[in-house]
Amino acid sequence: MSTHSMFIERKTPYFVQRQIPKSRQTLFTKPHRHPISPSLFPFAHPRQTSASRIEHSASRIPPHAPIPHSLPPTMRPNGPRPSVTGPDSGPEPPFPLKLNGKVVKGFGRGSKELGIPTANIPVAGLAVGGHEDVENGVYYGWAGLNVGPDGAFTGERGTVYPMVMSIGWNPFYKNTVRSVEVHLLHAFPADFYAAHMNLLILGFIRAESDYVDKASLIDDIRTDIRVAERSLRREAAWGFEVDG
């Protein structure tokens, strides 16, 4: 148990622990609902309530105290996941989103060996599509590629494949760069680096997570693939076109 939670949970009234003389116990006879330990937080003593005291306390905060600027990534929540996402009637704004880019080398972590190769495009692809502010997470849609199902380059007009993709910082790998990676739902006989990929994103699946181990990450990506397949199956009636 951490010192902090010990303090929040302790039942002993404050003055008993601190051995405050009876004459000064008036403020502490009722245990505070969220007592703040003056020893842990000297600048946040519960009695210092006037503005001048707060200002005085603030002036004592060291100038270079670290300020947390981002929340820690959320661990994958336990429990079942929905088998489709997004409305059955079709994509709702901001979808559909279009972006594109050339397939480049990614992190080389052997996603392929794990059975989930991801074609990476430069994150600038988001800017090309005008969607730099797109939320991190997992999405589904269609990928138009100038590579056919047999792996051969096809020139201008290509083939359209269902896809599931990840946009973000890959909290499990603690990446320091944002990435855009697309897993095409097709078994290609060969790599297609340098191919051009047009993406049509039709829906959001989930936020990106951190995981206790690699097996749990893979497990979740496998679920993403099934969710993408099912979600796209409804799409026949929506009538979207992707450029190959």
- CA dist 244 and 184 (Å) reads 14
Contact present, 132 and 126 (Cβ < 8 Å): yes
Q: Is the dihedral of CA 78, 82, 87, 93 positive or negative?
A: positive
**What's the start-to-end Cα distance of the chain, in Å?**
57
41, 153, 173, 193: residue in contact with ligand RBF (rule CB under 6 A): 173
- The yes or no reply on residue 178 touching ligand ADP (CB under 6 A) is no
Q: Which residue is nearest to Mg ion (CB)?
A: 106
Active-site residue list: 181
Q: From the CB of 187, what's the least distance to ligand ADP, in Å?
A: 7
197, 199, 202, 221: residue in contact with ligand RBF (rule CB under 6 A): 221
Closest CA to 101 of 127, 70, 64: 127
Contact present, 226 and 92 (Cβ < 8 Å): no
- CA dist 149 and 243 (Å) reads 16
Selection from ligand ADP, Mg ion, ligand RBF, none that 105 binds (CB < 5 to 8 A by kind) is ligand ADP
- The yes or no reply on residue 171 touching ligand RBF (CB under 6 A) is yes
Binding site for ligand ADP (CB under 6 A): 103, 105-108, 110-112, 117-120, 183-184, 186, 188, 191-193
Residues within the interface to Mg ion (CB under 5 A): 106, 111, 118, 120, 181
